[in-house]
Amino acid sequence: MLYLVPTPIGNLEDITLRSIRILKEVDTILAEDTRVSKRLLSHLEISKPVHSFHSHNEHKVVSKIIERLKSGETIALVSDAGTPGISDPGFLLARECVNEGIKMECLPGATAFVPALVVSGLPCDKFFFEGFLPHKKGRQTRLKYLAELPATFILYESPFRLVKCLKELAEHCGEDRQACVCRELTKLFEEKTTDTLANLIQKYDTEKKVKGEIVIVVSGK
């Protein structure tokens, strides 16, 4: 059995009782960054073997993991924060489990885009999750596509590229398009600002240093 286990995106209280139980019961834990996961496991007083599974090695190790699962091991996959497979490693392993007939369970839990969407005040009956935009090749093509969507769309972005991204969105969507920037969700200095793209650019362009993980929610055309 493979368990996909969400982990807190900030506040350590945001892990379910079921997730804690599963992490205690499995034979092995696969982690995006073992150092990050070991801190969480230490906080939860869980002692289990932890092995690396990230975007740079997943193609190399997935066949070995499948063999271990077939041999009867129970394995949990966690990312640094949130639900595995959502802008994090997980899809490749899940696909191989489906192809090989290996049982899987994805536990419900923390993910950044859902609270950002709901708290933005923008329509959330229909939405499109883009995740991280390409840094270079294909970026403008994606922005043009997103700008024409009739539904709210959601991006993940680095704090270092926030202003650049907002300016690109304004260029394609128009400065008056409503959007919400969510920063440090679930943490002590959580910040949520809904305004026009023009005003958001002005706000963050004047701030000296923006910190934390960023979710940008943009209203549809």
Q: Which among 56, 132, 139, 67 has a CA at the least distance from the CA of 100?
A: 67
Identify the bridge partners of residue 129 per DSSP, sorted by sequence position: 154
d(CA 31, CA 89): 9
Residue 98 CA from chain centroid, whole number? 22
Please determine, for residue 90, whether its predicted confidence score (pLDDT) is greater than 80.
yes
Structure confidence by residue, pLDDT tens digits, 46-84: 999 999 999 899 899 999 999 999 999 999 999 999 999
d(CA 91, CA 69): 16
On whether the CB atoms of residues 110 and 15 are closer than 8 A, the answer is yes
Confidence of residue 209 (pLDDT cuts 50, 70, 90): confident
Please determine, for residue 97, whether its predicted confidence score (pLDDT) is greater than 90.
yes
Please determine, for residue 208, whether its predicted confidence score (pLDDT) is greater than 80.
no
Could you tell me the domains of the chain? Answer: 2-106 (3.40.1010.10), 113-218 (3.30.950.10)
Please determine, for residue 207, whether its predicted confidence score (pLDDT) is greater than 90.
no
Confidence of residue 121 (pLDDT cuts 50, 70, 90): very high
d(CA 169, CA 163): 10
Instruction: Kindly state the helix (H) or strand (E) to which residue 105 belongs, with its residue range.
Output: strand 104-106
Three-class DSSP category at 83: coil
Q: Is the pTM of this model over 0.95?
A: no
The mean pLDDT of 10-28, rounded to a whole number, is: 97
Please determine, for residue 45, whether its predicted confidence score (pLDDT) is greater than 90.
yes
- Look at residue 193 in the predicted model and tell me its pLDDT: 97
Residues of the chain above pLDDT 90, percent: 92
Phi/psi of residue 209, each to 5°?
Answer: -150, 120
For the purposes of burial, counting CB atoms within 10 Å of the CB of 191, is it exposed (0-12), middle (13-18) or buried (19 or more)?
middle
First to last CA, the chain: 43
CA angle (43, 214, 133) in 5-degree steps = 120
Confidence of residue 194 (pLDDT cuts 50, 70, 90): very high
